[in-house]
């Protein structure tokens, strides 16, 4: 009997989700981060810059950890990229 090998499913399948979750999850995460401020703006935890829905990013406290609310903090893009995976980085 001949063995037939089927193509394996690539990571992520066809649902177009990234490691950051669905677009709905990312939108909800931004809304939750803004709720830590006045609902429309929140300061960056590193430099204090006022962040809006368009500029806020979820910076994970434990780098590489989950995106649970207890593990994310509002950050501007500049500081989020500069911090990278360094847990003791300061602006």
CB atoms within 10 A of CB 43: 16
Q: Is 84 left (phi over 0), alpha (psi -120 to 50) or beta?
A: left
- pTM passes above 0.85: no
Which neighbouring-strand residues pair with 43?
Answer: 50
Q: Each residue of 27-53: pLDDT tens digit?
A: 999 999 999 999 999 999 999 999 999
pLDDT in tens, 56-73: 999 999 888 899 999 999
Q: What is the pLDDT of residue 18?
A: 66
């Amino acid at each position: 009997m001949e063995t037939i090998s089927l193509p394996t499913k690539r990571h992520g399948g066809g649902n177009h989700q990234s490691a950051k979750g669905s677009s709905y999850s990312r939108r909800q995460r931004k809304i939750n981060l803004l709720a830590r401020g006045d609902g429309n703006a929140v300061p960056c935890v590193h430099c204090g810059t006022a962040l809006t829905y368009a500029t806020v990013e979820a910076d994970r406290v434990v780098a590489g950890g989950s995106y649970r609310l207890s593990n994310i903090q509002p950050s501007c893009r500049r500081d989020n990229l500069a911090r990278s995976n360094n847990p003791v980085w300061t602006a």
